[in-house]
Amino acid sequence: MKRMNQFRRLGLNKQIIALILIMLIVLLISFVISNRIAGRIIEKKVTESVSKVFLQVQEKTASFYSDMEGISNSLLYSPTVQTFMSLQDPLEKILMDNEIISVFNNTVTLKDNIRGIQLFDREGKMVESIGIGTGRSVQLPVESTVYSGLLRDPEAKTATTNYTITVPIYNLKSSIFKDYRGTAVFVMDVRNFGKILEGGKITKNSTLMLLDQQNHIIVNEGTALNIDASRLEDWKKDTHYIVQTATLPRTGWKLVSIIPKSELLQDLDTVKRLNIATYVIMFGMLILFLFIFSTRILKPVKEIMDFMRSYPKMERDRRFNVVYHNEIGVLGANLNRMLDEIDSLGIEIQQTQKQKYEIEIAKKQMEISAFRNQINPHFLYNTLECIRAMAFYYKVEDIAAISESLSKMFRYSVKGNDFVTIRDEIAHVGEYAKIVGFRFMGRIKIEMKGEEEWMELKTLKMLLQPIVENAVFHGLEKKIDNGLVRITVRKDERDQIQYIIQDNGYGMEEERYNSLVHRLRQWDSSEGSANEGDQGIGLFNIFRRLKLVYGDAASMTIQSVLHEGTTVIVSFPMHHHSQNKEDETA
């Protein structure tokens, strides 16, 4: 934060230089990072390509395995071979020699790389052969097909280009599970795998090799490398090469790909040189930008700042001399225009303040006149108390009771608090109920019901009584029979306080009801209006007060059926307002 403040105190020229240096450093870092990311992306792409090559080679070798399995099954489980392996008499085997040789010759023609076939009995004694032999003893018996590594010449002790496929022979006609009868050995030429690896090189100098179980090179595609088991691990650790290996199923042979990294990143050297050239060009452009910025922007701005500093000491009609025909010139012209407008506004403000003071004086005079015409509430309280006392004196208890209720209602409505407890609101309706009882000789009754736990919660004052009065005046007076207004205080499913005022009065016609509901929906505190004698004015005022205090959290719904009655439901949040008790004066 301290360094930021120091940077802000620097001149604009120094700030621009600092920003240019930061930009150059960021560009340099971005060049380095982009080169590294590009190298990693290339390596990743090459690795993915090698994996695809490996997958293709594995698919081709799997196809070769399937072909050899089919050939071996066709040969070894043919009636001729099965009969030959079941014979015990050597003479009979000699007599079938030509048939076996014929079958072997037919099999050799199926695959060009089959160099020889040898047949061994269950004791491991060779009983028939054709073509090239293994040149070594065979480990028998075997339980499944076994692929060997490269065969070695026992005299020269060098590797040949052949390997073997050893396949067990079972008697298919025997009831014994896996009745072993002997073993067949196929001597194979490895050069067919050269065709499988052909075209698998990723780059010009890369190498793709197939190694046997002892890491001898079976075939390779590309630059030949002297590699053995220990050297293979060295290649993997060498950071100058990308080395990938995969083991082929069934044979246990390894696919090895070796790619020099330098060959992959040759194109990146061109990109590096291009980045350096771009860096130098951008550096020159930033220096040119700094020069233009200093001469074409900073200098004119400094002239404008000097004019603004000296303006308070100049004559008020002095203006900035516009020389430049660019944005700075437009700024200077706008500055002169702004100074002209300030002078005009100053004159207008003086005139407006003068008019404002005259309006305030007239307003104060009107307030004084209004105060003189106000009625002192204490006079009304005292008058009602006097009527009540005279009623008691003349033993007219009904007049005393109704005077007392009227006095309490008036005192409640004019006291200063905007929020009261629900208990006080219910009590206020109770006083109104007494007056209604006297007025209608008990024909109209008002019942109130609510849980004690809600009585001490705060509510907006004068919500219930206007709704009850509306029900009595518009609903129950028109009714010949007895009428009832039922008030229920409860908590709804949204944890809000809910007033339900229900009467069994005249109700409303459908047209009037729809009009009332529509006007309530369209009501706006700044635009709504209603006539004094209009039905529903009390509901409008209550709805307006609810929305002003509680906003969208409050709601009021009306339900009415002609000749059945009307129900008004008012909901508002609990504990939305807190109201401190204030002293009340009578």
Q: Are residues 363 and 460 in the same domain?
A: no
At residue 325 the predicted structure's pLDDT band, cuts being 50, 70 and 90, is low
Instruction: Assess if residue 146 is contained within a domain.
Output: no
pLDDT score at 135: 57
At residue 530 the predicted structure's pLDDT band, cuts being 50, 70 and 90, is very low
Domain boundary among 370, 392, 408: 370
What backbone phi and psi angles, to 5 degrees, belong to 139?
Answer: -80, 110
CB 162 within 8 A of CB 189: yes
Of the listed ranges 366-380, 402-416, 506-520, 537-551, the one predicted with least confidence:
366-380
Three state DSSP letters for 481-528: CCEEEEEEEEECCCCEEEEEEEECCCCCCHHHHHHHHHHHHHCCCCCC
pTM exceeding 0.85: no
Q: Are residues 564 and 456 in the same domain?
A: yes
Instruction: Assess if residue 356 is contained within a domain.
Output: yes
Q: Are residues 347 and 459 in the same domain?
A: no
Three state DSSP letters for 4-53: HHHHHHCCHHHHHHHHHHHHHHHHHHHHHHHHHHHHHHHHHHHHHHHHHH
For helices 464-471 and 422-439, give the axis angle rounded to 10 degrees.
30
Instruction: Assess if residue 500 is contained within a domain.
Output: yes
Q: Are residues 352 and 439 in the same domain?
A: no
Q: Between 289 and 451, where is the model more confident?
A: 451
What backbone phi and psi angles, to 5 degrees, belong to 76?
Answer: -75, -25
Instruction: Assess if residue 286 is contained within a domain.
Output: no
- CATH code for the domain in which residue 526 is found: 3.30.565.10
Q: Are residues 363 and 454 in the same domain?
A: no
Instruction: Assess if residue 517 is contained within a domain.
Output: yes
Based on the structure, what is the number of domains in the chain? Answer: 2
Tokens describing residue 299: 């200098």
Q: How do residues 141-177 score in pLDDT, each as one tens digit?
A: 788 888 888 887 655 455 677 888 999 998 877 667 7
Instruction: Assess if residue 100 is contained within a domain.
Output: no
Of the listed ranges 111-120, 200-209, 549-558, the one predicted with least confidence:
200-209
Domain carrying residue 343: 315-370
- Rounded to whole angstroms, how far apart are CA atoms 121 and 102? 19
Closest C-alpha to 505, from 478, 468, 487 = 478
pLDDT score at 41: 80
pLDDT score at 502: 95
Q: Where are the alpha helices (H) located in 77-157, listed in sequence order?
A: 79-86, 90-95, 97-108
Instruction: Assess if residue 473 is contained within a domain.
Output: yes
Q: Are residues 350 and 476 in the same domain?
A: no
At residue 579 the predicted structure's pLDDT band, cuts being 50, 70 and 90, is very low
Q: Are residues 567 and 443 in the same domain?
A: yes
pLDDT score at 263: 73
pLDDT score at 578: 46
Domain boundary among 333, 355, 370: 370
pLDDT score at 445: 92
Q: Are residues 440 and 567 in the same domain?
A: yes
Instruction: Assess if residue 451 is contained within a domain.
Output: yes
Q: Between 380 and 435, where is the model more confident?
A: 435
Q: Are residues 442 and 562 in the same domain?
A: yes
Domain boundary among 353, 370, 387: 370
